Amino acid sequence: MRAWRTACLLLLFIPATLVAAACGGGTGGDGSGPITLGLPTAETSFANSDVIVAQEQGFFEEQGLQVEVQNFNSGLRVVQAVVSGDVQVGGSSIEPVVNASAQGGELSIIGGYADRLSVSMVTPDSIRSAEELRGQNLGIQDVGAFREVMTRMVLESAGLTPDDVSYRPVDSNAYISALLSDQISSAILQTEQASETIDQDPSFHELADLYAVEPDYYYGTYFVQSNWLSDNSNTAVRFMTALTEAHRFMYENRDETVPIVAEATGFSSEVIDQAYEKLLVQNGVFPVNEGLEEERFEYTLERMKELGAFEGEQEPDLSQLVNQDPASQAVESLGVWEGDPRWH
């Protein structure tokens, strides 16, 4: 399966090159036309809700941007769409971005959404330890996509590998129903999904909070084709300016943020308020400045290699993969936020 998926990614690099040559890297010049943004879940999650806040509060409009959101079933599919030129900006966990870059895709990470882990593994009460996952049916999206890598991380803590369990592909918006109907014995859930599952059936519990396990692991990235960035550098700066404003708004305006996120995600305001407390108040998962710390990228790449989630023969040059300029210029125009050690 891994070899097949790698081959599919490599095949996509050929049309990406042709698209870049024919179209100048995407939107036909800096600032012209709408930006299509790909998100990694079939339905928007709290972790991706910064985009919705930026739209609702007019931050994109203030920057002269029209952003159209397209939802995919996994970050791997978003990476494929960016590489092929179908969308200009992608939002994905870091793993498929790193792997595509290592396999020849010319991508640039320009920022982050929830750059710290915002998920947990939820299981029925009959499974009280990671060791008890052996032989169970575990829900994932795609092998190599975020939820599968997080599952692998939990398995590793018990000395297990994917060979010790059975993977069951599940659509990103079907994890709760799959758990509640006993189709799967575990799922990596966003914070609001975990709360909803446990509220519906208290016999389920949080087996592992991935942020507590891996506080230095880098999670969500915004990324583009490198040639698109060269042709649309000002657009990238304005995009990151709007999102930085959205992150800051979210921290400062809980009462206004919760209903926006509730409507975007389809969860109740009560569930989203619980998630807000954990994600913003306790863990501070949204960056308010650049949010592109070199040390965390290096750590995450090493963890990917240890987990067997890195799929390139030669690791990418992080100084080339991560382009600090758009986020740095956004922060320069807005001013640096200080006062909280998490605010990078």
Please name the residue that has the structure tokens 């882990």: 117
The predicted pLDDT at position 142 comes to 81
Q: Which of 85-94, 198-207, 319-328, 331-340 has the lowest mean pLDDT?
A: 331-340
Binned at pLDDT 50, 70 and 90, residue 42 comes out as confident
> Which DSSP letter does residue 322 get?
B
Is there a single domain that holds both residue 78 and residue 133? no
340 is a domain residue: no
Is there a single domain that holds both residue 225 and residue 282? yes
339 is a domain residue: no
Binned at pLDDT 50, 70 and 90, residue 30 comes out as low
pLDDT at 6 over 70: no
Is there a single domain that holds both residue 40 and residue 108? yes
pLDDT at 50 over 90: yes
Sheet order of strands, 67-71 included? 67-71, 35-39, 89-93, 220-225, 107-112
343 is a domain residue: no
pLDDT digits (tens, 9 = 90+) for 196-223: 999 999 999 999 999 999 999 999 999 9
Please tell me the distance from the alpha carbon of residue 249 to that of residue 309, in angstroms, as a whole number: 35
* Distances 125 to 119, 152, 203, 205, 293 between C-alpha atoms, Å: 18, 20, 6, 6, 38
Average pLDDT over residues 17-27: 38
The predicted pLDDT at position 193 comes to 95
Is there a single domain that holds both residue 270 and residue 136? no
State how many domains the chain has: 2
341 is a domain residue: no
Here the tokens at position 96 are 């498929």
Is there a single domain that holds both residue 96 and residue 224? yes
Is there a single domain that holds both residue 37 and residue 170? no
Cβ atoms 123, 155 nearer than 8 A: no
CATH code where residue 137 lies = 3.40.190.10
Specify the 3-state DSSP secondary structure of 2: helix
In DSSP terms, which residues pair with 213 in a beta bridge? Answer: none
Is there a single domain that holds both residue 22 and residue 99? yes
Is there a single domain that holds both residue 18 and residue 148? no
The predicted pLDDT at position 14 comes to 39
pLDDT at 18 over 60: no
Kindly report the pTM of this predicted structure. Answer: 0.87
pLDDT digits (tens, 9 = 90+) for 114-145: 999 999 999 999 999 999 999 999 999 888 88
- Tell me which of 152, 178, 213 is where a domain ends: 213
Please tell me the distance from the alpha carbon of residue 242 to that of residue 338, in angstroms, as a whole number: 19
Is there a single domain that holds both residue 164 and residue 249? no
Cβ atoms 9, 103 nearer than 8 A: yes
pLDDT at 17 over 50: no
310 is a domain residue: yes
Element holding 11 (H helix, E strand): helix 2-23
Is there a single domain that holds both residue 39 and residue 92? yes
Please tell me the distance from the alpha carbon of residue 121 to that of residue 179, in angstroms, as a whole number: 11
Is there a single domain that holds both residue 23 and residue 12? yes
169 is a domain residue: yes
Share of the chain above pLDDT 70, in %: 90
Is there a single domain that holds both residue 312 and residue 228? yes
Average pLDDT over residues 176-195: 96
Cβ atoms 150, 138 nearer than 8 A: no
| Cα dihedral 308, 312, 315, 319 sign | negative
Please tell me the distance from the alpha carbon of residue 167 to that of residue 161, in angstroms, as a whole number: 11
The predicted pLDDT at position 39 comes to 95
The predicted pLDDT at position 250 comes to 97
Cβ atoms 48, 190 nearer than 8 A: no
Please tell me the distance from the alpha carbon of residue 261 to that of residue 270, in angstroms, as a whole number: 11
pLDDT at 302 over 50: yes
| Cα dihedral 328, 331, 335, 339 sign | negative
The pLDDT mean for the chain works out to 90
Average pLDDT over residues 295-315: 92
Cβ atoms 87, 70 nearer than 8 A: yes
Structural domain boundaries, residue 30? 2-116+217-334
The predicted pLDDT at position 341 comes to 63
| Cα dihedral 202, 204, 205, 206 sign | negative
238 is a domain residue: yes
pLDDT digits (tens, 9 = 90+) for 52-87: 999 999 999 999 999 999 999 889 899 999 999 999
344 is a domain residue: no
Q: Which of 170-174, 176-180, 197-201 has the lowest mean pLDDT?
A: 170-174
For residue 160, the Cα-to-chain-centroid distance in whole angstroms is 25
Pick the residue with more confidence: 20 or 77?
77
- Tell me which of 213, 239, 264 is where a domain ends: 213
Please name the residue that has the structure tokens 């506080």: 215
- Tell me which of 213, 228, 245 is where a domain ends: 213
* Distances 220 to 94, 137, 275 between C-alpha atoms, Å: 6, 26, 17
Q: Which of 30-34, 166-170, 281-285, 300-304 has the lowest mean pLDDT?
A: 30-34
